[in-house]
């Protein structure tokens, strides 16, 4: 592997990463990003490129022509609505948009791996390099899987990585079982009747229901006997009426983020939140409407896929960083680990590195080589080189 992964490959992948960083695009609008990746992939001579997967997603297929498993590696295309404050030469040129989660680095790692595959094809089965849209809003993985074109690349194994600030640089973070939490945004609209503030009795304000709802929602996770593992409900926004001192409000909204380590606990947490909302609606005679945003399943690392990652760590000679509990953040790669043998692992970005989604974050190029090596050694166990 030392001779295969040259400094030239790492340098070119780094150059690509910085070009992608300069031109970030939000979830659902990754057209130019996908175009740049397509041009890069065409130079690596895959056997097929599939475009328009679940939106602007694309996949490169390296086919051995010999029967065997299909192995998928995924990177994410989208950036975040965060203003770039860094001043380096490759800073974002799109106002209010920047790669503050490191998806530019994830794409560059997968693209560096594609350079290896140009001259080192799998000996059996197929390798699929998937560039997925809309990870940040939790919709992209599901859209890709539901796309009819996905039937052409439906994998037996699926792997992905995520850079992780707060951990030693280049260390690999991995655990079997639950790795990242399930989450969903719950939106509860309250509809009463407005009136003049001088005559509140002529209206029907949802203020009392809102008060009871917020307190009740926050109490649900305390009912430990109903859950198998960690659950969290965070009230992230509430609004009652408008700023109008002459008006008794007739509507309101409460928004909460629900998080659990397990999908079955999410079902229970969500049901209890809905049951409470409906009970309070009846008690206070307030109409309600419940909807959801940014739904992520739990990412659960399959035992066999986890062992493949552990073996790759030994072959790549990287340091292992253990974690006792799953992460509280969410990743829509859970749609892939729920359907086949799959695993998501992390690569440390540095103990003191700015956190993900911070306005001064930037992907550390020093971990690029670690990511490419991990992908290579994972693939070598399944499709052989």
User: Residue 103's pLDDT is what?
Assistant: 98
Same domain, 151 and 273: no
Grade residue 3 by pLDDT with cuts at 50, 70 and 90. low
Q: What is the CA radius of gyration of the chain?
A: 23
SS3 label, residue 352: coil
User: Residue 317's pLDDT is what?
Assistant: 95
CATH number at residue 15: 3.40.630.10
Q: CA 113, 114, 116: angle at the middle one, nearest 5?
A: 65
Cβ proximity of 58 and 134 under 8 Å? no
Same domain, 191 and 229: yes
Q: What is the DSSP letter of 179?
A: E
Q: Which of 314, 315, 375, 317 is nearest to 344 (CA)?
A: 375
Same domain, 128 and 273: no
Q: Given a cut of 90, is residue 96 above it in pLDDT?
A: yes
> What residues form DSSP beta bridges with 126?
63, 70
Is the pTM higher than 0.85? Answer: yes
Q: How far is CA 36 from CA 19, 42, 67, 187, 371, in A?
A: 9, 10, 31, 37, 20
Cβ proximity of 337 and 158 under 8 Å? yes
Q: Is 195 domain-assigned? A: yes
Same domain, 240 and 307: no
Q: How large is the average pLDDT for residues 119-145?
A: 96
Grade residue 206 by pLDDT with cuts at 50, 70 and 90. very high
Q: How far is CA 194 from CA 203, 238, 240, 278, 340, in A?
A: 5, 18, 11, 21, 52
Q: How large is the average pLDDT for residues 197-209?
A: 97
Same domain, 71 and 212: no
SS3 label, residue 369: helix
Q: Given a cut of 70, is residue 1 above it in pLDDT?
A: no
User: 147-182, pLDDT tens digit by residue?
Assistant: 999 999 999 999 999 999 999 999 999 999 999 999
Cβ proximity of 92 and 84 under 8 Å? yes
Q: Which of left, alpha, beta for 270 (phi over 0: left; psi -120 to 50: alpha)? A: alpha
Cβ proximity of 356 and 54 under 8 Å? no
Q: Is 260 domain-assigned? A: yes
SS3 label, residue 186: strand
CATH number at residue 254: 3.30.70.360
Instruction: Look at the chain and report how many structural domains it folds into.
Output: 2
Token pair in block for residue 239: 């609004």
CB atoms within 10 A of CB 197: 15
User: 29-46, pLDDT tens digit by residue?
Assistant: 999 999 999 999 999 999
Same domain, 147 and 13: yes
Strand order in the sheet with 126-132: 48-53, 57-63, 126-132, 70-76, 157-164, 341-348, 172-173, 320-321
Same domain, 117 and 219: no
Same domain, 119 and 134: yes
User: Residue 338's pLDDT is what?
Assistant: 83
User: 328-362, pLDDT tens digit by residue?
Assistant: 999 999 999 987 899 999 999 999 999 999 999 99
Same domain, 160 and 192: no
Q: How large is the average pLDDT for residues 103-114?
A: 98
Q: How large a percentage of the chain has pLDDT more than 70?
A: 99
Domain of residue 268 covers 182-296
- Rounded to the nearest 10 degrees, what angle do helices 368-382 and 103-119 cross at? 50
The helix or strand, by DSSP H or E, that contains position 140, with its residue range, turns out to be helix 140-146
Structural domain ending residue among the three candidates 252, 273, 296: 296
Q: How large is the average pLDDT for residues 131-142?
A: 95
Same domain, 285 and 343: no
Q: How large is the average pLDDT for residues 180-192?
A: 97
Structural domain ending residue among the three candidates 259, 274, 296: 296
Separation of alpha carbons 95 and 82, rounded Å? 9
Same domain, 133 and 214: no
Same domain, 213 and 326: no
Per DSSP, helices labelled H in the chain are 7-22, 31-43, 103-119, 140-146, 207-219, 263-284, 303-316, 334-337, 368-382
> What residues form DSSP beta bridges with 296?
183
Structural domain ending residue among the three candidates 296, 319, 344: 296
User: Residue 84's pLDDT is what?
Assistant: 96
Q: How large is the average pLDDT for residues 70-81?
A: 98
Average pLDDT, the chain: 96
Separation of alpha carbons 158 and 30, rounded Å? 22
Separation of alpha carbons 149 and 56, rounded Å? 13
Q: Is 327 domain-assigned? A: yes
Q: How far apart are the first and last CA of the chain?
A: 10
User: Residue 360's pLDDT is what?
Assistant: 96
User: Residue 311's pLDDT is what?
Assistant: 97
Q: Is 26 domain-assigned? A: yes
Q: How large is the average pLDDT for residues 258-280?
A: 98
Q: Is 2 domain-assigned? A: no
User: Residue 339's pLDDT is what?
Assistant: 75
Separation of alpha carbons 22 and 368, rounded Å? 18
């Amino acid at each position: 592997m030392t001779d295969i992964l040259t400094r030239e490959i790492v340098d070119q992948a780094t150059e690509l990463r910085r070009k992608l960083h300069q031109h970030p695009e939000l979830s659902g609008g990754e057209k130019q990003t996908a175009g740049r990746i397509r041009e890069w992939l065409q130079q690596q001579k895959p056997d097929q490129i599939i475009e328009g997967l679940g939106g602007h997603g694309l996949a490169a297929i390296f086919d051995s022509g010999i029967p065997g498993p299909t192995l998928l590696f995924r990177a994410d295309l989208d950036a975040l609505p965060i203003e770039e404050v860094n001043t380096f030469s490759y800073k974002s040129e799109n106002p209010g948009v920047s790669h503050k989660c490191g998806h530019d680095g994830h794409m560059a790692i997968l693209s560096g791996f594609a350079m290896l595959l140009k001259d080192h094809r799998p000996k059996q089965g197929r390798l699929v390099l998937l560039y997925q849209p809309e990870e940040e809003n939790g919709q992209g993985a599901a859209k890709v899987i539901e796309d009819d074109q996905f039937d052409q690349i439906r994998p037996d194994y699926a792997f992905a990585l995520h850079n992780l600030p707060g951990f030693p640089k280049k260390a690999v973070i991995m655990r079997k079982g639950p790795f990242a939490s399930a989450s969903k945004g719950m939106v509860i609209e309250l509809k009463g009747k407005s009136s003049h503030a001088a005559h509140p009795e002529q209206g029907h304000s949802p203020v009392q229901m809102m008060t009871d709802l917020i307190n009740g929602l926050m109490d649900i996770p305390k009912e430990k006997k109903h859950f198998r593992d960690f659950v969290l409900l965070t009230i992230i926004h509430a609004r009652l009426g408008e700023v109008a001192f002459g008006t008794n409000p007739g509507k309101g909204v409460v928004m909460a983020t629900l998080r659990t380590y397990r999908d079955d606990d999410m079902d229970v947490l969500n049901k209890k939140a809905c049951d409470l909302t409906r009970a309070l609606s009846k008690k206070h005679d307030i109409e309600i409407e419940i909807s959801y945003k940014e739904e992520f399943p739990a990412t659960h690392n399959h035992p066999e896929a986890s062992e493949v990652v552990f073996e790759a760590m030994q072959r790549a000679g990287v340091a292992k960083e253990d974690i006792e509990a799953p992460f509280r953040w969410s990743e829509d790669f859970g749609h892939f680990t729920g359907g086949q043998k799959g695993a998501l692992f992390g690569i440390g970005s540095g103990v003191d590195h700015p956190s993900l989604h911070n306005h001064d974050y930037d992907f550390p190029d020093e971990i690029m080589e670690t990511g490419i090596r991990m992908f290579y050694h994972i693939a070598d166990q399944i499709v052989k080189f």
